[in-house]
Structure 1
Amino acid sequence: MTTAAPPGVDPFDQDVLPAPRNAQMILLRSLLHPHRSRLWLATVLLLVQQAAVQAGPLLVAYAIDHAIPAVRDGRHGALIAVACGYLGCGLASGILQRAFIRVAALISQDVLIELRGRIFRHAQSLSLDFHERYTSGRLISRATSDVESIRELLSDGLEELIEVVLSAVYISVLLLILDWRLGLATMVSYGPLYVAIRSFQRRSMVAYRKRSTATAAVIVKFTETMNGIRPVKAFRREEPNDAAFGELNHRHERANGDAILEMARYVVGSRLIANIAIAAIVLWGAYRVAQGGLALGVLAAFVLYLRRLYDPIDRLGMFLNSYQSAAASLEKIAGLLAQEPGVPEPARPVPLPERPAGQPGRAVVFEDVRFAYRTGGEVLPVFGLRVPAGQTVAVVGATGAGKSTLAKLLARFYDPTDGRIMLDGVPLRELAPADLRRGVVMVTQESFLFSGTVAENITIGRPDASRAEVEAAAKAIGAHDFIAALPDGYDTDVRKRGGRISAGQRQLVAFARALLADPGVLILDEATSSLDIPGERAVQHAMHTVLHGRTAVIIAHRLSTVEIADRVLVMRDGRIVEDGTPEELIADSGHFAGLHQAWQDSLV
């Protein structure tokens, strides 16, 4: 059973993704399960430590009722024993608590490392469809602020809870042993305290869920604005963005204030209950001492235990504070980790056949393929296509015709709704990811470079490539000269998103990266759109040699790119309406001929 978004609302528009019932507890158990032995050790350490702590008031009671009267008779041994016992309990408590904190810290750090790793690995495994609908700002919020909330719970809150619970259990038992009447009277106050705690828990859960959502919204807005700083500057969006961010900031402030107010209400209510209970029990106990029905030392121990019992109420509130914040964060992380990849890996991968010597390309077949995005209508109705090994196919058409969708399906960023796509006779769904990435490589319109050197960016598709192979790929694509002119050549750091080099140069590096990977099928999705005319001509000249014999699918708006194709497909509404060589289609009076004539006129 899963949680669901309200009717008519896309769950990806919600900050909490749908997840199976009890997903949070299942996730928490899976994180703690490998640390069972450490958890048992921590439990034993805390049990013994609390026993040492709670022995103090018993020693005080013994001293008042027995040791001090013995001193009057000249016997000092009992009082010395009490003093030594009190000192020993204090030392043992400190040593045991230090050991517990050390073990608990090791557990919490290992759990957090594992959790961050799971979020990162799982986010990478999810399909492109997920990332196009779930913003990167939300992912960052899951791995930062939400993990930090869980860290606070594991590092501080959990210790507080265990100490409070153990203290309450020890003290309750000791109070009944000391005097069962006063002990039962004390336990009567547990009822109102339980009601106060439950009420706070329910109200604060709502408050902290709102606070966590408000925090994520602030992070999302900040991340999106900084990632889009160029259009922000270009369209002078600073003031509107500042106003929108200010509103989100105020919403976060209000959510924070609501959470603090709930905490204040709980503290005031619980302290009132505790003080009334202490006053009533002390008055009754004093009356019994005066009547001779209760020893003074026992009453003194009762007062000390009552303070120890009720003082941690504030600490319990702080734990519930951390718990509600962590529970809201854990719910969101569990929802993220519950998302299944839209493009799953095959259970039994089929190996890709070896390419014959001298044949760099692979055959591609679209067999009765249908595809529709989740957020829109059908893009490809019933689509069929056969591309022989070694053929270069250019795909043209108006925006929305289905060109890029065809490329994404071939790269297996998505799976078809119906039908299948085959590479050398093997369905893409059945290929292992490593074989698929060796078989098909895509160069997109927006070439993304990672922080690091030029050489590291080129070798992403083939990490074991030698420097000579890297340079050969760069030379083949026409990128070597500008790379060699950089301050450190191939060892130059391109910085964030490749910002140190121009858009055209980034595209050339992306071409070199794809060519070094030596794929059987190379997809170019408007990959020359960011190049200037000289740069585009240089790339086209290199591609005549590089694409020779290799299967290539070129998605193009610039018809200059089509000139190197063996075959041209014209798409409209997800269907192929024209298919032939460039010369055949130009000679015809169809759509491509019109496009070509318009392009020729623009050159004039």
Structure 2
Amino acid sequence: MTRLLPVASAVQARRYARDLIRRYPAMFRATVALHAAAALAGLAGPRLLGDMVQGIHDGVPLDRLDRLALMIGGFVLAQSVLIRFAHLASARLGERVLARLREEFVTRVLGLPLSTVEAAGSGDLLTRTTRDVDALSKCVRFAVPETLIALITLLLVVAALLLVSPVFAVPLLIGVPIMTVGTRWYLRHAPRGYLRQNAAYSDVTEGLTETVEGARTVEAMRRQLQRAGRTDADLRRSWRAERYTLRLRTVWWPVIEISYVLPMVLTLLAGGLLYLHDTVTLGELTAAVVYVQQLVDPLDRLVGWLDELEVGGAALARLLGVTADPQPQPAVTTAPDGTRVELCGVRFGYEPGREVLHGVDLVLEPGERLAVVGVSGAGKSTLGRLLAGVYQPTSGTITVGGTPLAALPPERLRAEVALVTQEHHVFVGTLRDNVAMVRPGVHEGEVRAALTAVQALHWADALPDGLDTVVGAGGHPLSPAQAQQVALARLVIADPHTLVLDEATAMLDPRAARDLERSLAAVVSGRTVVAIAHRLFSAHDADRVAVVEDGRITELGPHDELVAAGGAYAALWRSWQGGTEPAEMSEHA
């Protein structure tokens, strides 16, 4: 069962956003100053236009009207230039902030414990790294600067309106309560709605990813209708979540429209009455009406982008929530004393109250080869992942050289213990970079030696550009066996002293599996090996065999002794030798 990653609180998101902006104080001040200057330049036009109308009414000379017209044109030109540089400054600041945020998010994702990633599933993390990053990118690039511009313009226009005559600000008081109540209602419901919408989209992505990755299993088990039903249910939840946020917008936007159209109408009516009673001049009335009209654009902008700010805020909370899970204990600075691996009273459960392993005690001596066998669901693969540090025990300890495994930083952990499974990944990049990624900058000779050790150098040199051939998505395709050899070559570079093998060749065809077994033999030579044996042929040659039943090690010893003892292992061995391997001994535990 997948568990969505946590979501940061609104307070945490706002604090992070403020801290991010404060890292670039000079750029932020310059951006605000340019936008303020552009808004001020735009305020001169209505006042000069009012003077021109009043001048025409009073019959002033044409040369004075010409000067007013030229001044209006000059301020419009100045505003255009200032707006251009203000937008450039906003773009630079936005890109700088976005780059920093993306770098920090990638660091957060790469620092996640593997157990957290496996528990959350790929769908939620994929949604956060794509859809949420895109939403936040749009927010930082456009919504934040546009909202900033709108707020600055609003403040300055209201100030200019008050300078014309305080009486013209009275109609604005009619619209402010309407806008305030509507916006507060929207902001009270929108964050929760957008978080639910993004979570629902994560479920859709998770379900589709599972279906695509397990397409063969779905087809073999004839579960197409079930998977289609799961997708339909996820889409219905996503539709309901998006319908909720759409309903919020369809209520909020008309309220905002009324809140700024109504003051403009009242200004015309009240201003006309005041002019008829000689309380204000025609020029003041003209300037006031134009200023109120100028409020429409920043208000429209604010309404339009405030919705994007809510979407971006929800995306930021989800991105920050990636590391909200409790982290392992602080890494130690002392190196392990030796390579002896010891499990003491280890218990583990994927969910609270449902243990998979119960009080496991085990000691791995340096250079030992241990085979772990048992029926499907007994806990073999779980034990292997605990040994590799993928999961942390619920209670008990796992140490290597006397140092807790959980206290080792990831880069040091992989130099001590490594997990080899059927799963492997070829990253986009050169073959050289794919092999050397565990130790960037390693000499080419070591890369070639690693490929030689796993019997892969012959086909690597035969690639179009040799080690510089680009592989991975969109690059030169590698067969499953070649991709697994690349993964094994990485292990040679990493040089861990203990390997946990979870049927690394089980999914390959027999010929490719035989070739890869020889590559694997070169990697395991001289190392401590824990082989999770879903088939018993690999247990015969092991130094010891551990039988796992119901989350406990019930038998432990050499193959011959366990067969002679006539216990659970002997029964499994006789069944396998007789060609009637129990159905429970599946390829996946």
TM bucket (normalised to shorter chain) is: 0.7 to 0.9
- 2:320 corresponds to which of 295, 320, 334: 334
1:224–1:172 Cα change, 3 Å: same
Question: Which shifted more, 470-479 or 490-499?
Answer: 490-499
Match of 1:349 among 333, 341, 350: 333
Aligned partners of 1:331 and 1:545: how far apart in 2?
47
Match of 2:357? 380
The answer to whether the aligner puts 1:43 opposite 2:20 as a matched pair is no
Counterparts in 2 of 1:454 and 1:314: CA distance versus 1, 3 Å: closer
Contact 1:212 1:325 in 2 (8 A): no
Please state how far the C-alpha of 1:301 moved relative to its aligned partner: 1.0
Q: Evaluate the alpha carbon distance shift between residue 154 and residue 490 of structure 1 in structure 2; reply closer, same or farther with a 3 A threshold.
A: closer
Does residue 563 (structure 1) correspond to residue 540 (structure 2)? The answer is yes
- Give the 3 Å change call, closer, same or farther, for CA 474–218 of structure 1 in structure 2: same
Equivalent residue number for residue 402 of structure 1? 379
Displacement, 1:104? 0.9
Match of 2:95 in 1: 109
- Deviation (angstroms), 1:570: 1.9
1:461 and 1:254 map into 2 onto residues whose CA distance is: 45
Give the aligned partner of residue 313 of structure 1: 299
Matching residue of 1:415:
392
Instruction: Kindly indicate whether the alpha-carbon contact (under 8 Å) linking 1:459 and 1:513 is maintained by their aligned counterparts in 2.
Output: yes
- Which residue does 2:421 correspond to in 1? 444
**Structure 2 matches for 1:506-517, cutoff 5 A?**
506-517=483-494
- Gap change, CA 1:189 and 1:528, over 3 Å in 2: closer
Contact 1:352 1:435 in 2 (8 A): no
- Is the contact between residue 256 and residue 303 of structure 2 (CA under 8 Å) also seen in structure 1? no
Q: Report what 2:586 is aligned to.
A: none
Question: Percent identity among equivalent residues?
Answer: 31
- Root-mean-square deviation (CA, aligned residues, Å) is 3.3
Q: List per-residue Cα deviations over 1:408-451 (Å, max 9, x = no partner).
A: 22221222333322222333244343332212222113333334
Residue aligning to 1:27:
16
Moved more, 395-404 or 499-508: 499-508
Could you give the per-residue CA deviations for residues 321-372 of structure 1, whole angstroms, max 9, x where no partner exists? Answer: 212222222232232242343x3551x411245x7xxxxxx32222333333
Residues 230, 499 of structure 1: CA spacing in aligned structure 2 closer, same or farther, 3 A cutoff?
farther
Distance 2:366 2:183 in 1: 70
**8 Å contact kept, 2:274–2:280:** yes
Give how far 1:289 is off: 1.7
The structure 1 residue matched to 2:154, chosen from 162, 168, 171, is: 168
Give the drift of 1:13.
4.4
SS at match of 2:540: helix
Deviations 1:137-175 (A, max 9, x none): 221221222222223333332333233322332232232
Does the residue aligned with 1:373 lie in a helix, a strand or coil?
Answer: strand
The change in CA–CA distance for 1:589 and 1:21 in structure 2 (over 3 A counts) is same
Matching residue's letter, 2:544: R
1:489 Cα shift? Answer: 6.3
Could you tell me how far apart the structure 1 residues matched to 2:191 and 2:523 are? 60
- The residue type paired with residue 105 of structure 1 is A
The aligned counterpart of 1:602 is 579
Paired residue type of 2:398: I
Distance 1:294 1:100, change over 3 A: same
1:456, CA displacement in angstroms? 4.2
Matches within 5 A, 1:27-106: 27-66=16-55, 69=58, 71=60, 75-106=61-92
Conserved? CA contact 2:151–2:302, under 8 Å: no
Q: Quote the residue 1:358 is aligned against.
A: none
CA distance in 2, matches of 1:133, 1:396: 25
Contact 1:379 1:402 in 2 (8 A): yes
Contact 1:442–1:514, Cα closer than 8 Å, also in 2: no
Segments of structure 1 that go 5 or more residues without pairing to the other structure are: 1-9, 356-361
- TM-score, normalized by length of structure 2? 0.87
Q: What is the CA–CA distance in structure 1 between the aligned matches of 2:190 and 2:334, rounded to whole Å?
A: 52
**After the TM superposition, which of the residue ranges 289-298 and 583-592 deviates more from structure 2?**
583-592
Paired amino acid for 1:387: L
> Which whole-Å CA distance do the structure 2 matches of 1:253 and 1:430 have between them?
44
**Paired letter, 1:228:** G
Aligned pairs for 1:268-283 within 5 A: 268-283=254-269
| Partner residue, 2:128 | 142
CA contact (8 A) 2:7 2:317 kept: no
CA change 1:513–1:289 in 2 (3 A) is closer
Residue identity opposite 1:351 in structure 2: A
Paired residue secondary structure (2:6): coil
Aligned-partner Cα distance in 1 for 2:579–2:297 = 83
Verify the 8 A CA contact 1:369 1:417 in the aligned structure 2.
yes
Distance 1:143 1:288, change over 3 A: same
Structure 2 alignment gaps of length 5 or more: 582-589
